[in-house]
Structures are given as C-alpha cells and as structure tokens.
Homo-oligomer: A and B are copies of this chain.
Amino acid sequence: MCELLGMSANVPTDICFSFSGFLHRGGGTGPHRDGWGIAFYEEGGYREFRDPYPSVDSPIARLICDYPIKSRVVISHIRHANVGNVRLANTHPFTREMWGRPWCYAHNGQLEGWQTLPLVFYTPVGDTDSEHAFCWLISELRQAFPRPPDEADVLWKFLHGLCEYLRGLGVFNLLLSDGEYLYTYCSTKLAHITRQAPFGEAELSDAEITVNFAEHTTADDVVSVIATQPLTHNETWQHLMPGELLVWHDGIIQARYSSNSSST
C-alpha cells in the first residue's frame, strides 16, 4: 500500500510542515521506499516533482522542505509498489490535461480486473493498476462531459459513481484535482483536519517537529490537510467513511457524497 497527502487552502500556503513528516514514511518511519511525487497548483499554474527513490533520502524531497512553494491545492504520494516495477513512470501523482486543465491523481490501494477497464482518450505510460484506473476514470469523465458541465454537482455525482465502481474492484483511496477542487474518496482509510483561527500548535507523528500555526497564518486562513493516516498526534483528525467522496474548495468541504445519499 501507499501513502497519500493532500491539501486544500483558501490562501496560497506551503506544505513544508506536513511534508516534513510525510516524507519520513518513505523509507524512514514507513516502508514505502519505491518512489514518491508531489504536485502543486499555484496561482500561475501547475508543477510536480518526483523521484523513483525513497523520499527520506531524496535531495528533491529535501528541496521541497527547504523551498516553500505556496499553493492552494497539493497532492503527494509515497509508493509501496505492488503492481508495476519501481520506476519513474510508475510514481504518482499522474497527470493528464482535460478541458485545458491539468488533472492530477494519486491512488492508495490495489485493484483486480483493472486491465479490462476500457480507455478512450488517455493511455497509461507506465504499467500500474493505478494509472490505468486514472486513464479510465478521466476518459469516462471526458466522454460524459466533452465540456465542463454548467452544474458542478452533475460532474461530482458522476465522479462519485466512477469511484464507487472502482471500489468494487478492490481498495481505492483517491486524491484527485483539477486545480480548483480537491476530490478525496475513501475506500478504506483517509483522514482530514481543518485548521483555522484560533490556530494552535501541532506536533508531527513521524518527526520531532512542532509548529505554532498562529505564527504563520492570518485570522482568515483556512487550511485542510488530508492523509491516509493522521500526520500529527496532538490534534483530532476526522475519518472519511468508506464510499464517501468529499469535494474540497478553499479549505472547506463544498460537497459530500456517500454510498447511500448525497448532500451539497
């Protein structure tokens, strides 16, 4: 299995604190030594960094900690290979352009029967179940919506249905974004926390680092972090329910879809 880390914020925010703990799971406190990647949606565009080596030893991961990149949406992934060799083409997140936006995707879990998921517009570069499922998912979205629908809710409901279908094939915990919204879908485990005023101190679980967010924020900041497992041990994280899709925007939950019902 792998580890997921996501962020949604209402102001450009760096993820250095969370990432400093997260990267230790890639060969330090966790066994996920098979590559890692991180994608940033910034005010001016999109960029990503990746390495096929353990994040705990990676000079590129160190750069991410030392060079604060401010963004509103971040998706990161640390890989523990199951399907597909350890190589750059198999590191998450994966990206494809749809509707003139870079869509970014990271997956935790393992699927069965993924090889027969039909592909239309997009083809995997590597050989993982994860990338194949992404190419299928975004192909389905594009077939259903050649252009972005006027009502976002229509898109989100459809996306929830696709996630539910993939959950039927195995374990499918998901982070997905088009830069505007962050979609988090839970198959087995995904936890989140929203930090806003009054800000307090947080202590990482994976490294001896403490931060007082009050020193780094303004009263209006809202920053949510989503991860496969809580990253701090002195805060209360919420857990998603299996089958639940949360749509994040500007750090808050804009819509929520569960297996049996939905609300926005």
Contact bitstring A45-75, B, C-beta under 8 A = 1, else 0: 1111111100000011001001100000000
Contact bitstring A236-247, B, C-beta under 8 A = 1, else 0: 000000000000
Q: Does A126 contact B (CB under 8 A)?
A: yes
User: By the criterion CB–CB under 8 Å, are B47 and A88 in contact?
Assistant: yes
- State how many angstroms separate the Cβ of A63 from the closest Cβ of chain B: 5
User: By the criterion CB–CB under 8 Å, are A123 and B100 in contact?
Assistant: yes
Q: Does A184 contact B (CB under 8 A)?
A: no
Minimal Cβ-Cβ distance residue in B for A101? B125
Within residues 74 to 92 of chain A, which ones have a CB less than 8 A from any CB in chain B? 85-91
Chain B residues with CB below 8 A from A100, complex form: 123-125
Give bound CA distance, A46 to B48, whole Å. Answer: 12
Q: Does A121 contact B (CB under 8 A)?
A: yes
Minimal Cβ-Cβ distance residue in B for A43? B87
User: By the criterion CB–CB under 8 Å, are B52 and A59 in contact?
Assistant: no
Q: Does A96 contact B (CB under 8 A)?
A: yes
Interface residues of A, dominant DSSP: mixed
- State how many angstroms separate the Cβ of A200 from the closest Cβ of chain B: 31
User: By the criterion CB–CB under 8 Å, are A125 and B88 in contact?
Assistant: no
Within residues 96 to 115 of chain A, which ones have a CB less than 8 A from any CB in chain B? 96-97, 99-102
- State how many angstroms separate the Cβ of A37 from the closest Cβ of chain B: 9
Q: Does A122 contact B (CB under 8 A)?
A: yes
User: By the criterion CB–CB under 8 Å, are A87 and B121 in contact?
Assistant: no
Give bound CA distance, A121 to B120, whole Å. Answer: 11
Q: Which of A46, A102, A123, A125 has the most CB of B within 10 A?
A: A125
Given contacts A48-B48, A100-B125, A102-B125, 9 further A-B contacts (CB under 8 A): A44-B88, A44-B89, A45-B90, A46-B125, A47-B49, A47-B51, A60-B67, A63-B63, A101-B125
A-B CB proximity, top 3 nearest = A45-B88, A44-B87, A45-B89
Q: Could you list some 8 contacts between A and B, CB below 8 A? A: A43-B87, A45-B90, A45-B126, A46-B88, A47-B88, A60-B67, A97-B123, A97-B125
